Amino acid sequence: MILSLKELLSELEKKRKGKKVVFTNGCFDLIHAGHAHYLSEAKKLGDILVVGLNSDASVRRLKGPKRPILPQNMRSFLLDSLKPVDYVVIFDEDTPTELIKAIKPDVLVKGGDWSLDKIVGRDFVESYGGKVVTIPFNFNISTTNIVERVITLYCPERSSS
């Protein structure tokens, strides 16, 4: 389900009892096998998987004016369609700090490219006994790699190599 933060908090209040909430976040610009694996592994860490999705404005600030490739309504729809994902909530800030504080997940998850000391919300989650976990990559792929490959294959004159 794609929900506002207010709606999500109401849902979690009803369904959380005795269940472990897992939270992760990202831009998820072009959904690929790496994302699918990561989300499947994240879901195994608890009962309810909440994905915080950077809004279009947030992605532009983080990744530059040519991103996102897909708008937030499409990215949220794709995430919501994936089996492991229970809830998607879009946030406009550059970091999910406020979401994490509001949701208070039992487990905070990021990809293996994040060192624990760089994970936003780590101190807060650990302060109440929550766990912070990184999931190693199973596929050597990223949205940036996909974009570069498409440019190289179909627009070689624009390729940086």
User: Does the residue 138 lie in any domain?
Assistant: yes
**Residue 108 confidence class, pLDDT cut points 50, 70, 90:** very high
Q: What is the pLDDT of residue 160?
A: 59
134 burial via Cβ count (<10 Å: 0-12, 13-18, 19+): middle
Check residues 51 and 156 and name the one with the higher pLDDT: 51
* Residue 50, domain CATH: 3.40.50.620
User: Does the residue 78 lie in any domain?
Assistant: yes
Q: Provide the mean pLDDT of the chain.
A: 94
User: Does the residue 156 lie in any domain?
Assistant: no
CA distance 1 to 54: 16
User: Does the residue 17 lie in any domain?
Assistant: no
**Residue 137 confidence class, pLDDT cut points 50, 70, 90:** confident
Residue 153 DSSP class:
H
Q: What is the pLDDT of residue 159?
A: 63
> Peptide bond before 68: cis, by omega within 30 degrees of 0?
yes
**Global pTM value:** 0.92
User: Does the residue 62 lie in any domain?
Assistant: yes
Nearest by Cα to 96 from 82, 83, 86, 110: 110
Stretch 11-30: mean pLDDT, rounded?
96
User: Does the residue 159 lie in any domain?
Assistant: no
Structural domain boundaries, residue 144? 5-11+26-148
- The number of C-alpha atoms within 13 Å of 37 and in the hemisphere containing its C-beta is 14
Q: Tens of pLDDT along 113-128? A: 899 999 999 999 999 9
User: Does the residue 93 lie in any domain?
Assistant: yes
Give the helix ranges, DSSP H, for the chain: 5-15, 33-43, 56-63, 72-81, 97-103, 122-127, 143-154
Beta bridge partners of 86: none
> What's the number of domains the chain is made of?
1
Stretch 34-39: mean pLDDT, rounded?
96
Ramachandran class of 33: left when φ > 0, alpha when ψ lies in -120 to 50, beta otherwise: alpha
Query: What per-residue string of b and e applies to 85-119 under the rule 16 or more CB within 10 Å gives b?
Result: bbbbbbbeeeebeebbeebebbbbbbbeeeeeeeb
Q: Decide if pLDDT at 72 tops 70.
A: yes
User: Does the residue 45 lie in any domain?
Assistant: yes
Q: Decide if pLDDT at 161 tops 60.
A: no
Beta bridge partners of 54: 91
